[in-house]
Structure 1
């Protein structure tokens, strides 16, 4: 019966069988050191010439990088090993001798690695990132599922834009025009009126011709919507969710974070409640820090968000943005209608916005007015207006960008490493 590398701690002193690949190999004459991987982790196998048959020794000699094999051996604790364990190999069976592997043990350019992304994800670093991504997804869904949220799947093909922008991928839906979704939010609002607290988790698409380290064309969003939850309640759920995710990753992905060389002390500070500043206060901060050309009503760019985040040791909410720079559905502050009841959550260490959210407009007349101001066709959005005509209630929601969150928690320089097969401005392969 096969054991996995992740499970070897429960088999110390016993012989096990692994199925895996050879990641690397070196020899000191009478000993071969096999770096093995099986998808769950990495372990070193020690092969001593006078302790195995000549046939087994020769098989090991013939192994090339990424050759597939079965390995038998006795698990031994070793504090010097990254995983804390090594394998004294007793036997091996070759499944396939791999051809010369294109990704060598040397520096490769980013374009070369991206062209070979299907192979690059086998490396320790890329495997660690994808394992952490999976843990982040588990943590998000675990928090929402145990706090009364119901998962609802919105459509990917839509007849209109969520935010009235033109950055959409157009396609034909038989004889009609259709677009790839840029957000499931509007549909989640409908679902919230049926189920109370809901969330979606799926791919979204933005046809922005952007090459920044924060942008992907196809990315994944988690979008909760909550009936009878106001702006304040919305922020509380967001900070509880993010803190829960970070702490779960710290608890379950210690080895992967070490592989990435992540500063754990920065993540250990991520505990609720998070600091909050208003848009007005953020503008004042930027002026003090030398951004004197930033004027009230402008939207924050990456340098602005980074500078604001430097003043805090954990994520920070920026609340009450000007109405004119935010989406049509956001509820104005009753005490100050030129700003809306919204917030962006800015991650520390220069990773920018990871969540955007707001209380939604619940007044049908005000929403209709917003349609007119944003030149939105009533026929395309009539169903959304219906939500305010038939039992309107205060409600709020937010969208969390998975890849930016992964980049921040992993400490990555670019979001292209946060998703198995990134889609960027000039990349659709592999």
Structure 2
């Protein structure tokens, strides 16, 4: 109806559709219906074999882990000496069926888009050689050349979409919370400061009447890379109801463990009119289970390919049923005091120190399922968490623990009393009190570590291999 009312727009839309229709075919879309048809494919030579009359190319284009076999006559290969492993090509030909029953493309036209200089002995990924993850991590700009990481990053893509779909289907509004922030209330020692590199710019912006520190000139206050978008989400949820974000957060930690990075991705959600900590644990459990089931139903092939890519001689493969048996059982919930008692029965544990990763994994093993640890001592948690009604020394906080990674998510019911909050709110967060002053209600929310979730989903042992360009202490390549 709309296109029909605007003839020029209608004609333009037809032109766009025609261009899309006449484009090349992705290898993942090649199927039996193409047999006998002429199509164009574009990709990279993943392998090649020479025979008397033909050269057989295994072509991959990144759309899936599958390759398409391409038959190229020896004369065409002779005319294109750069047609070797790693070369980028565009090929037009007819789809047929090979003697063994799989589909193949019989090349009629071939364009060599780019060669791969493997003969210089510098290219790090030699054909038919296995490379360790540590070795591959040294070549971040070429990691996408490795089929293992192609599988990881396709799975990451589909997992991102699954989380967005889940929150959209459950009535949440997607909020772009800022990366630059003046909030310094939580984990101030872990903050990364933001200061312009241009000293001349800062000198020109310096006040003539009141000299400011260098890190306060540009924004008139200290500014940091965000630790969390939680408080910005709180500001939105007081009128939008249910909101979430999905983006990078930053930590300045001198840690090189398999579950820590300096830049990683968080999915954070916030809801208004939350009644109890149980509302939040139910939301976390439904989110994790719903997203995982969605991925196993809709993207089973991509998840399986990525999981198989983690196999090593030391790692024994598990069936999907064993890996995800927690989908069929309710998650456990214990108070911090109960968790401390369990740990003290197993080894020396100091409840004043909080939970280490080892403690977290011990609790998961004890219950044989994911675990919520709730109602934490006030001194172990930030100021904005609501006091438990039955004990003023505790707050309604949550840590959610899963196998292999320990803490996957954290959350709380937020303190809704202006009077209770006022003495403890930092000076730079006085606006946070206004949220309670003008139509306040009880809110609650949580944050899920997306990269750790991928470790659980795909069996990736090191978090630095879940993300294309990991950053950690002493490492910020590219």
TM-score by length of 1: 0.89
Could you tell me how far 1:370 is from its partner in structure 2?
3.1
CA contact (8 A) 2:225 2:249 kept: yes
Query: Does structure 1 residue 154 correspond to structure 2 residue 190?
Result: no
Inter-CA distance 408–74: structure 2 relative to 1 (3 Å threshold): farther
Structure 1 gaps, min length 5: none
Asked if residue 369 in structure 1 is aligned to residue 417 in structure 2, the reply is: no
**Are 1:424 and 2:472 counterparts?**
yes
Matched, 1:19 2:42: yes
| Aligned match of 1:410 | 458
Partner SS, residue 35 of structure 2: coil
Deviation for aligned residue 1:278: 1.9
> Which residue pairs with 1:391 in the alignment?
439
SS at match of 2:412: strand
Deviation of residue 233 (structure 1)? 1.4
Aligned pair partner of 1:287 in 326, 344, 362: 344
Q: Once the 2 structures are TM-superposed, how far is the Cα of residue 47 of structure 1 from its aligned partner? A: 5.0
Q: Would the aligned equivalents of 1:223 and 1:397 in 2 still touch at CA under 8 Å?
A: yes
The range that moved more, 391-400 or 256-265, is: 256-265
Of 170, 188, 192, which residue of structure 1 is paired with 2:193? 170
Any idea what the Cα deviations from partners look like across 1:377-400, whole Å, max 9, x if unmatched?
Answer: x2x011001112222211100011
Assess if the C-alpha contact under 8 Å between 1:43 and 1:86 holds in 2: no
* Shift in alpha-carbon separation, 1:89–1:123, aligned structure 2, 3 A: farther
- Post-superposition Cα deviations, 1:186-216, rounded to whole Å, max 9, x if no partner, equal 1111111121111122111111111111011
In 1, Cα distance between the equivalents of 2:409 and 2:134?
A: 30
What's 1:5 paired with?
A: 27
| CA apart distance, 1:325 | 0.7
- Secondary structure of residue in 2 paired with 1:187: helix
Deviates more, 1:271-280 or 1:54-63: 54-63
Does the C-alpha gap of structure 1 residues 322 and 42 become closer, same or farther in structure 2, counting only changes over 3 Å? same
Equivalent of 2:430 in 382, 396, 399: 382
Assess, with a 3 A threshold, how the Cα gap between structure 1 residues 24 and 206 changes in structure 2: closer, same or farther. Answer: same
Q: Which residue of 1 aligns with 2:259?
A: 214
Q: Which structure is larger by alpha-carbon Rg, 1 or 2?
A: 2
- The CA deviation at 1:89 is 2.9
Q: Between Structure 1 and Structure 2, how many residues are aligned?
A: 415
Give the 3 Å change call, closer, same or farther, for CA 146–124 of structure 1 in structure 2: same
User: In the superposition, relative to structure 1, how do residues 221 and 42 fare at CA in structure 2: closer, same or farther (>3 Å)?
Assistant: closer
1:335 deviation in Å? Answer: 0.6
* 2:112 counterpart of 1:94: yes
The change in CA–CA distance for 1:131 and 1:312 in structure 2 (over 3 A counts) is farther
Tell me whether 279-288 or 15-24 shows the greater mean CA deviation: 279-288
- Most deviating of 220-229 and 387-396: 387-396
Equivalent position of 1:337 in the other structure = 392
CA contact (8 A) 2:27 2:68 kept: no
Residues 381 and 78 of structure 1: is their aligned pair in 2 closer, same or farther, counting only changes over 3 Å? farther
Secondary structure of 2:42 counterpart: strand
Using the alignment, how far apart are the partners of 2:168 and 2:99 within structure 1?
Answer: 39
Matched ranges for 1:51-62 at <5 A: 53-58=73-78, 62=82
Contact between 1:103 and 1:120, CA under 8 Å: does it hold in 2?
A: no
What are the superposed Cα offsets for residues 156-215 of structure 1, whole Å, 9 maximum, x if unpaired? Answer: 221232415311011235143211110111111111112111112211111111111101
Match 1:132 to one of 136, 155, 158: 155
**Within 5 A, what are the aligned runs for 1:224-235?**
224-230=269-275, 231-235=277-281
Structure 2 Cα separation of the partners of residues 424 and 409 of structure 1: 22
Distance 1:107 1:366 in 2: 59
- Closer, same or farther in 2 for the Cα pair 1:247/1:227, shift >3 Å? same
Corresponding residue of 1:71: 91
Per the alignment, do residues 381 and 44 of structure 1 end up closer, same or farther by CA in structure 2, a change over 3 Å counting? closer
Q: TM-score, normalised by structure 2?
A: 0.80
